[in-house]
Amino acid sequence: MKNSFIKDIAFYVPDEILTNDDLSKMMDTSDEWIKTRTGIEKRHTTGDTNMGPADLAVKASDQLLDKIGIDKSEIDFVVFATSTPDYYVPGSGALFQEKMGLENIGVLDIRQGCSGFTYALSVADKFIKTETYKNILVIGAEVQTTQLDYDDEGRGTAVLFGDGAAACLVAPTDEKRGILSAHLHSDGKYIDDLSSLYPSSKYKDIINEENIQKRQHHIYMNGREVFKHAVRRFKEVILEGLESNGLNVNDIDMVIPHQANFRITETVQKHLGVDQDKVFSNIHNYGNTTAASIGIALTEALDQKKIKKGDIVVLASFGAGFQWGSVVIKW
């Protein structure tokens, strides 16, 4: 059986930048308040461009294919992760396929929030190892800044999120490297602690005046609960991945966590007992880009030469659901 590996990766973020000072003009917040609690200094936004996650994914994918030097006709499957789809139905995968000109290949949409990229890689890994497909495009893309509550009531979430997309090519290799294992979990007891209730097929009126007044069409987050569970689950799932491969914390060369909050990343680093330079963070420049965040961070870690061939790299995520996961890679 062949191994699967990430042949290369690229990302795209919109040109327009939304700084903490910009947000302070919309709601009761400040640059100091946001940086102290999240580590975020700015995020990118699609603004008034009417770009959706499929559009951002095309930009990232074009960059990726140029880097690798292959034609899009060689792509034979797409796994598209987003929590902010262009359409309520269908998912963004089909729209992305049409925009990219990928003729008649299969697409699979992943709706796992901040854990979307790890879930998507897990699916691609299995398809490669079973020799179902040869070149799988894995996408994480989000447009969230158009959906946030920029009133004072929503500042706890509005300051966190940004827009962006990452694209990687997962392919087979005969070398003893690549994706070693993936570990996925969920606990639906906490679904109401990080969720957006509307639109919903449960109700006759998908959006009505009452739920708009209650701001239930915006994302809600119980910050304390999310923080408490995130630091626990990140550590657990990273150690699970290491143990399943006969590795320990000392074998880690780089951890790429989902960029949720710098305080979470810092706490996980301390709980694991690894050096700070082995846990990558770029949340200060992009905010939380949900399904795109791990891909964007991985791209920058590679561009900065922080990962080399043969390194043990652990990707880890936690988010709405609650859902969490890890992917262990020998680069």
Separation of alpha carbons 124 and 238, rounded Å? 20
Residue 152 pLDDT class (50, 70, 90 cuts): low
Question: Do 257 and 314 meet the contact criterion of CB atoms below 8 Å apart?
Answer: no
| Catalytic (active site) residue 114 | yes
Domain total in the chain: 2
Q: What is the per-residue pLDDT for 228?
A: 92
Instruction: Name the residue range of residue 303's domain.
Output: 179-330
Q: What is the per-residue pLDDT for 208?
A: 72
- Token pair, residue 209, equals 């005046």
The one catalytic residue among 3, 20, 258, 282: 258
- Shared domain check, 209 and 101: no
- Shared domain check, 164 and 24: yes
- Shared domain check, 149 and 184: no
The one catalytic residue among 20, 135, 261, 288: 288
Separation of alpha carbons 190 and 202, rounded Å? 19
Percent of residues, the chain, with pLDDT higher than 70: 96
By CB neighbour count within 10 A (0-12 exposed, 13-18 middle, 19+ buried), where does 317 fall? buried
- Which of 174, 191, 217 terminates a domain? The answer is 174
- Which of 174, 193, 216 terminates a domain? The answer is 174
The one catalytic residue among 114, 135, 183, 229: 114
SS3 label, residue 176: coil
Q: Looking at the predicted structure, is the pLDDT value of residue 279 above 80? A: yes
Strands 136-142 and 164-173: antiparallel
The residue among 167, 90, 163 whose CA lies nearest residue 121 is 167
- Which of 174, 207, 230 terminates a domain? The answer is 174
What would the mean pLDDT of 157-173 be, rounded to a whole number? 96
Query: 265: domain CATH number?
Result: 3.40.47.10
Q: Looking at the predicted structure, is the pLDDT value of residue 322 above 80? A: yes
| Catalytic (active site) residue 258 | yes
H runs (alpha helix) in 180-281: 209-213, 223-244, 262-272
Q: Looking at the predicted structure, is the pLDDT value of residue 188 above 70? A: yes
Residue whose tokens read 């998908």: 206
Question: Do 40 and 155 meet the contact criterion of CB atoms below 8 Å apart?
Answer: no
Separation of alpha carbons 258 and 74, rounded Å? 29
Q: Looking at the predicted structure, is the pLDDT value of residue 250 above 80? A: yes
DSSP per residue, 41-109: -EEE--TTS---HHHHHHHHHHHHHHHHT--GGG--EEEEE-SS-SSSSS-HHHHHHHHHT-TT-EEEE
Q: What is the per-residue pLDDT for 83?
A: 94
- Shared domain check, 242 and 130: no
- Shared domain check, 55 and 123: yes
pLDDT digits (tens, 9 = 90+) for 285-303: 999 999 999 999 999 999 9
- Shared domain check, 191 and 148: no
- Shared domain check, 105 and 196: no
| Catalytic (active site) residue 104 | no
- pTM, rounded to two decimals: 0.94
- Shared domain check, 243 and 105: no
Q: What is the per-residue pLDDT for 307?
A: 98
What would the mean pLDDT of 192-212 be, rounded to a whole number? 75
What would the mean pLDDT of 158-186 be, rounded to a whole number? 97
- Shared domain check, 215 and 268: yes
- Token pair, residue 193, equals 């602690």
Percent of residues, the chain, with pLDDT higher than 90: 82
What would the mean pLDDT of 112-138 be, rounded to a whole number? 97
